[in-house]
Structure 1
Amino acid sequence: MAKKIEYKDLLEAGVHFGHLTRKWDPKMAPYIFMEKNGIHLIDLNKTLACLDDACAAIKGVVRSGRKVLFVATKKQAKEVVAEEAKRLKMPYATERWLGGMLTNFVTVRKSLKKMSSIDKLMKDESYTALAKREKLTITREREKLEKVLGGISELTRLPAALFVVDAKKEHIAIKEAKKLNIPVFAMVDTNSDPNTVEFPIPANDDAYKSIAIITQAIGQAIEEGLVERKKDKDDAKLKEEEETKRSADIEE
């Protein structure tokens, strides 16, 4: 099991640095420790407590066999979030949030099917016989779909939860999740409204190191949930085999 994140780890990653005081959202007041040089500093004890709650809850979601959609379209978050999502085989959206990705999931599924049919076509012998211009058109369409939908290509149904970096920036995704009663786990900086999400994690959502440490902590919780799910399935299978054997013995 990976090392549990401590106060000093968050401090070293600069998780406590908030925005300029004039840019704050008053609803973040309970999570602010103090003001220094015109900048709000986040109370890292509150961050640790919120992170623990979020990790326990998200582990439960994954243990039940459902997916968590990672959402982070800001430049400094894209890479680390996509990497963690890929490692865990979870869906992610890091290019841009496609309006209706959740609320109009039926249409999104159609686009995913289209991408899949293009893939089949490109592997088919008939594709090689196409004119150069036709091939180029198909390739460009595939690239366009991949850029926006590549991270959710394996998503066959709505996710059970969202992990979001920057609740303020990703407000459209959060609004869609709310409409569908999908819980949101989000990094909230001092300029965000923490009440828009079910599991706010007060943290600096602009610095790479801060984003990385929180994303990896959530990733670790998801990983633990996946391990526990596998164990649950293995235990259930073993129990079933034992019961079948017991029944066979009784019949004999």
Structure 2
Amino acid sequence: MANKPEVKELLDAGVHFGHLTRRWNPNMAPYIYMERNGIHIINLYKSAAKMEEAAEALHKIASSGRKILFVATKKQAKEIVAKEAARANMPYITERWPGGMLTNFVTIRKAIKKMSSIDRMKKDGTFNTLSKKERLQVDRLRAKLEKNLGSIADMTRLPGALFVVDITREHIAIKEAQKLNIPIFAMVDTNSDPREVDYVIPANDDASKSIEKVMTYAADAVLAGLEERKAGKESKATKADKEEPTPTKEVKGSTKAEVKATKKVADKKPVAATEEE
């Protein structure tokens, strides 16, 4: 499990800076500490508590074997999210969100399979039999699919949770997850509605340092969950190897029925013989 987040570290990363007061969402009031120079300041003690709560839930989901899909398409978050999600061995979307990514997952899987079929064509030599124009078209299609869906190629079923940076920007992803009752974790700034999210992390979602701090913490929690799952599997395998079936006692050359019958005869009392007249 990840360590408890330090308020000083969050302060140094600029997690406390919110949006301009005129752009705030009133539902974020419980997470706002004060207003300074026309900017809302987020209460970092609440941010730390919410980060810890989210990390615990992420840990449980990862240890259960389900995937967590990380979503961030804004410029300052793309590289950070891609790096941390890859480190945690989880799928991520950092380009445009494909409409129906969750609600029409079957179609998305078909597109991923198309990418795999192109790879097979290149391996078995079929690709070389195409004309120059056709090869160019196939290469362009492969590049486009890789850019948009390459990071979720290993996601064979719907994710167990969604982790979003900036819910206002990723509102389509949020709506799809809500429709399918998929738990949503998110960095929520002062201009967003926290009611849209199951696990709110009040934080500055515009500064790269702030995003990196929260994302690193979340990825560490996921990795801890994966390690726990791996350790559990290994211990079960070791236990199974140590356990041996208990041998049943048998009388050599005799069946159970024969042994039982022999015992019954042996237990009978001898009957006195009668004299012949």
TM-score range, shorter-chain basis? over 0.9
Match of residue 202 from structure 2: 202
* 1:115-143 deviation line (CA, Å, top 9, x unaligned): 11011112222322322211110000001
SS of equivalent residue, structure 1 residue 234 = helix
**Larger of the two Rg values belongs to structure:** 2
Q: Match for residue 13 of structure 2?
A: 13
Residue aligning to 1:83: 83
Assess, with a 3 A threshold, how the Cα gap between structure 1 residues 89 and 220 changes in structure 2: closer, same or farther: same
Residues matched between the structures, number: 249
Counterpart position of 2:212: 212
Question: Any residues of structure 2 matched to 1:149-228 within 5 Å, and which?
Answer: 149-228=149-228
In the alignment, which residue of structure 1 is the partner of 2:65? 65
Cα gap change, 1:79 to 1:11, in 2 (>3 Å)? same
Q: TM-score, normalised by structure 1?
A: 0.95
Q: Deviations over 1:3-48 (max 9, x none)?
A: 6430011000000000000000000000000000000000000000
Secondary structure of 1:96's aligned partner: coil
Q: Which residue of 1 aligns with 2:96?
A: 96
**Aligned partner of residue 204 in structure 1, secondary structure:** coil
**Could you tell me whether the CA contact under 8 Å between 2:5 and 2:52 is conserved in 1?**
no
Aligned equivalent of 1:111: 111
CA RMSD of aligned residues (A): 1.3
Question: In structure 2, what is the Cα distance between the partners aligned to 1:121 and 1:212?
Answer: 39
Distance in 1 separating the partners of 2:66 and 2:152: 14
Give per-residue Cα distances to partners, 1:181-218, cap 9 Å, x unaligned: 11010000000000101001000000000000000000
**Partner amino acid, structure 1, of 2:22:** R
Residue aligning to 1:134: 134
Deviations 1:63-101 (A, max 9, x none): 001100000000000001001111121110000111100
* Structure 1 residue 2: Cα displacement: 6.8
Residues 27, 2 of structure 1: alpha-carbon distance in 2 compared, 3 angstrom cutoff: closer
Deviation, 1:56, is 0.2
Distance 1:3 1:187 in 2: 19
Secondary structure of 2:110's match? helix
Q: Superposition pairs for residues 142-153 of structure 1, below 5 Å?
A: 142-153=142-153
SS in 2 for 1:186: strand
1:7 corresponds to which letter in structure 2? Answer: V
Residue 123 of structure 2 aligns with which residue? 123
2:240 equivalent to 1:240 = yes
Query: Is the 2:2–2:224 Cα contact (8 Å) retained in structure 1?
Result: no
d(CA) in 2 for partners of 1:46, 1:31: 7
- SS of the aligned residue for 2:85 comes to helix
Cα drift, residue 251 of structure 1: 4.3
Counterpart Cα distance in 2 of 1:2 and 1:155: 25
Aligned equivalents of 1:242, 1:64: Cα separation in 2: 25
Task: Quote the Cα distance in structure 2 between the aligned partners of 1:104 and 1:226.
Answer: 28
Q: Give TM-score, length-normalised by structure 2.
A: 0.87
Which AA in structure 1 matches 2:188? V
Mark the runs of 5 or more structure 1 residues left unpaired by the alignment.
none
Separation (CA, whole Å) in 2 of partners of 1:61 and 1:215: 16
Match of 1:158, SS state, is: coil
